[in-house]
Amino acid sequence: MIQIANIFSQIDVDPADLHIPQPDEPINASLANIIGMTMAIFAAVAVIVIIYAGIQFMLSQGDPAKTTTARNTIIYAAIGLAITALAFTIVSFVTGKF
């Protein structure tokens, strides 16, 4: 058992070979990429919801309840899209990518 400990104590490991993040590497870059991808997904979902609500609006055939529902869906999706764009701008500015 002691011989195994002696063998392992003689192994020289370079941390660069292990691909361990070093303290001097910025975490902001990977965090900004994750947040950017998340916001891109949210923006894509908002655009899909706007298209879906537009189709609902066209197919409402003048029914006031359906028209109101479709109009509100478009408004809320547009507000969500604006908030996503604003959040992306703020994150880009704070992380220095803007």
Going from N- to C-terminal start, the domains of the chain cover: 42-98
Task: Please state, for a pLDDT cut of 90, what percent of the chain lies above it.
Answer: 38
Of the pLDDT bands very low, low, confident and very high (cuts 50, 70, 90), residue 88 is confident
Residue pLDDT, tens place only, 3-21: 655 555 666 666 566 665 5
Q: Which two tokens stand for residue 31?
A: 């965090």
- pTM here is 0.63
* Half-sphere CA count of 91, side-chain side, radius 13 A: 19
Quote the CA–CA distance of 48 and 59 in Å, as a whole number: 17
Of the pLDDT bands very low, low, confident and very high (cuts 50, 70, 90), residue 71 is very high
Of the pLDDT bands very low, low, confident and very high (cuts 50, 70, 90), residue 43 is confident
